[in-house]
Amino acid sequence: MKLVLIGTGYVGLVTGACFAEFGYQTVCVDKDKSKVKNLNLGKCPFYEPGMDDLLSKHLNNTKLLSFSSSLSDSMKNADVVFITVGTPSRRLEDDADLSYVWSVADEISQNIEKYCLVVTKSTVPVGTSKEIKKIIAKKISQDKFDVVSNPEFLREGSAINDFMRPDRIIIGAENKKSEDIMRELYRPLYLRETPLVSTSIESSEIIKYASNSFLATKIGFINEVADLCEAVGANVQEVSKAMGIDKRIGSKFLNAGPGFGGSCFPKDVKAFISTANKLNVDLSIINSVHSSNKKRINRIANKIIENVDKKSTLTILGLSFKPNTDDIRDSTSIKLATLLNDKGYIINCFDPVAMNNAKIENNNLNYFDTPYKACFNSDAIIIGTEWNEFRALNFSEISKLVKKKKIFDLRNIYNSIELEKIGYEYYGTGK
Ligand code: UGA
């Protein structure tokens, strides 16, 4: 099978490289010529563990993977074409901006020669794949193509493993022919007994948003429970651990923190609400999750402001929205740093890989190349992202550098008793 992926963002690149790993001839297409040039040299535009090796293996050794800026050349003899362009929130609106999707659908329609399966992998509101079908059908007869929905569930930082060992594959198809092609495509995962779930196209599109919104709800819920724990002297880590043992609840996504961020949850929660609003359906629970998460960063900032004098120096460790990525989109650390900086605090920071992106976002912060240098003369340390590098910091060394021994452990990676024993004033989240 020859595969074409249109859009070399996070999803397109990881998916393309992983399909090459399965053994498929794969071409990833992007309009951005300089990006394509760099990709053909094996340069990945973002940090994702394992991606550099996968790119190099399939560009240079197996030659199963290539990058192109020409959709018409790439689509020659293509069996399956994936739409993997971005669907960001529209400016000033909450719904997804589908302009890239529509223009790609139109371009695909100009390049189908033999039968081709068009797969919507971008996260799109319910109804979009059927609209894509209508656009293509304006130029191509119905027997020469089908459209299916196949959402992705990759997490940044562990995307390759998530692709190779998914919990499930969703195939939203209208007929057996297209479903069979998708089943054949994912056959390498049969060995791992991955469930392949066939649904209608509409259900498949909703599964993606409902899954992300549900996970966001778990996080929003435990964050509010954390606030209650703080108010009464309970410990949210004990609470979530005990709750999670109940298999009906499950332990994952029950870690309290500064709120959910990243390129998916905030945008998808908003788009899901917006879709429902357009259909006069009230998603009141998800609405509350969205507003609760929006308020959260101010609450965290206020806690710091109440406990650290104005104009002090604060050290923020971790700037990416989660560990193992350089992605700072909707990063709570960047929001917090900006908020506190605007209030007059001096912000020193460090992140293992996200500093270049952070500098572009906010160049008023002071960036250091080790966590220890960032702690020099600091009045309080804030753990913003739970990178492994921060889990075993040398506090006897840090104690010599800081002005005051104070720590806000937003991700609860430290034991308060141990830090208090060596003289630290410790503030966790919900404990
Ligand atoms: C999320 C989903 O987990 C993926 O399944 C999905 O494919 C992806 O969105 C997407 O739609 O593309 P991702 O955004 O990479 O993946 O990151 P997550 O690990 O889900 O974390 C999202 C946010 O929730 C982060 O800010 C993280 O710190 C926060 N979080 C996560 C918590 O605060 N507590 C938790 O227990 C878990």
Atom of ligand 1 nearest to the CA of 253: 36
Q: What percent of the chain has pLDDT over 90?
A: 97
Domain final residue, candidates 180, 199, 218 = 199
> How far away, in angstroms, is 29 Cα from ligand 1 center?
27
Q: Pick from 253, 296, 325, 351 the residue to mutate for probing ligand 1's pocket: most ligand atoms within 8 Å of its CB.
A: 253
- The verdict on 182 and 276 lying in the same domain is no
Pocket of ligand 1 (CB under 6 A): 123, 152-156, 212, 215, 219, 253-255, 257, 260-262, 264-265, 268, 321-322
Q: What is the CA radius of gyration of the chain?
A: 23
Q: Is 264 a catalytic residue?
A: yes
Contacts of 134 (CB under 8 A, 6+ apart): none
Domain that holds residue 270: 266-427
Atom of ligand 1 nearest to the CA of 268: 11
Averaged pLDDT score across all residues of the chain: 97
- The verdict on 284 and 195 lying in the same domain is no
- The verdict on 10 and 142 lying in the same domain is yes
Residue 190 is predicted with a pLDDT of: 83
> How far away, in angstroms, is 111 Cα from ligand 1 center?
36
Phi, psi at residue 361, to the nearest 5°? -75, -40
CATH for 297: 3.40.50.720
- The verdict on 281 and 195 lying in the same domain is no
- The verdict on 299 and 403 lying in the same domain is yes
**Interval 96-130: pLDDT, tens:** 999 999 999 999 999 999 999 999 999 999 999 99
Q: Is residue 253 part of a domain?
A: no
**Interval 14-41: pLDDT, tens:** 999 999 999 999 999 999 999 999 999 9
Catalytic-role residue among 28, 44, 229, 264: 264
Residue 350 is predicted with a pLDDT of: 98
Q: Is residue 174 part of a domain?
A: yes
Atom of ligand 1 nearest to the CA of 212: 2
Q: Is residue 205 part of a domain?
A: no
**Interval 345-371: pLDDT, tens:** 999 999 999 999 999 999 999 999 999
Residue 105 is predicted with a pLDDT of: 98
> How far away, in angstroms, is 414 Cα from ligand 1 center?
21
Residue 109 is predicted with a pLDDT of: 97
**Interval 386-419: pLDDT, tens:** 999 999 999 999 999 999 999 999 999 999 999 9
Q: Is residue 358 part of a domain?
A: yes
- Give the pLDDT band of residue 192 (cuts 50, 70, 90): confident
Atom of ligand 1 nearest to the CA of 263: 14
**Interval 198-243: pLDDT, tens:** 999 999 999 999 999 999 999 999 999 999 999 999 999 999 999 9
- The verdict on 174 and 319 lying in the same domain is no
**Ligand 1: residue whose CA is nearest its atom 9:** 264
Residue 31 is predicted with a pLDDT of: 96
> How far away, in angstroms, is 228 Cα from ligand 1 center?
23
CB-facing half-sphere around the CA of 118: CA atoms within 13 A = 31
Atom of ligand 1 nearest to the CA of 219: 34
> How far away, in angstroms, is 331 Cα from ligand 1 center?
11
Residue 93 is predicted with a pLDDT of: 81
> How far away, in angstroms, is 324 Cα from ligand 1 center?
12
Q: Pick from 160, 219, 254 the residue to mutate for probing ligand 1's pocket: most ligand atoms within 8 Å of its CB.
A: 219
Q: Using the CB atoms, write b or e for 308-341: b if 16+ within 10 Å.
A: beeebbbbbbbbbbbbbbbbbbbbbbbbbbbbbb
Q: Pick from 47, 264, 269 the residue to mutate for probing ligand 1's pocket: most ligand atoms within 8 Å of its CB.
A: 264
- Give the pLDDT band of residue 337 (cuts 50, 70, 90): very high
Residue 94 is predicted with a pLDDT of: 85
- The verdict on 322 and 194 lying in the same domain is no
Q: Is residue 238 part of a domain?
A: no
**Ligand 1: residue whose CA is nearest its atom 20:** 155
> How far away, in angstroms, is 222 Cα from ligand 1 center?
14
Q: Is residue 224 part of a domain?
A: no
**Interval 77-97: pLDDT, tens:** 999 999 999 998 887 788 999
Residue 47 is predicted with a pLDDT of: 96
Phi, psi at residue 327, to the nearest 5°? -80, 125
Atom of ligand 1 nearest to the CA of 325: 15
- The verdict on 180 and 295 lying in the same domain is no
- The verdict on 195 and 292 lying in the same domain is no
Domain final residue, candidates 176, 199, 222 = 199
- The verdict on 177 and 279 lying in the same domain is no
Domain final residue, candidates 184, 199, 214 = 199
**Total domain count, the chain:** 2
Q: Is residue 221 part of a domain?
A: no
Residue 91 is predicted with a pLDDT of: 76
- Give the pLDDT band of residue 191 (cuts 50, 70, 90): confident
**Ligand 1: residue whose CA is nearest its atom 24:** 260
> How far away, in angstroms, is 155 Cα from ligand 1 center?
6
**Ligand 1: residue whose CA is nearest its atom 12:** 264
Mean pLDDT of 264-270: 96
Range 30-38, long-range pairs (CB < 8 A, 24+ positions): 30/6, 30/67, 30/69, 31/69, 32/8, 32/69, 33/69, 35/8, 36/8, 36/67, 36/68, 36/69
**Ligand 1: residue whose CA is nearest its atom 30:** 260
Mean pLDDT of 146-153: 98
**Ligand 1: residue whose CA is nearest its atom 7:** 153
- The verdict on 290 and 165 lying in the same domain is no
Atom of ligand 1 nearest to the CA of 152: 7
Q: Is residue 47 part of a domain?
A: yes
**Ligand 1: residue whose CA is nearest its atom 13:** 155
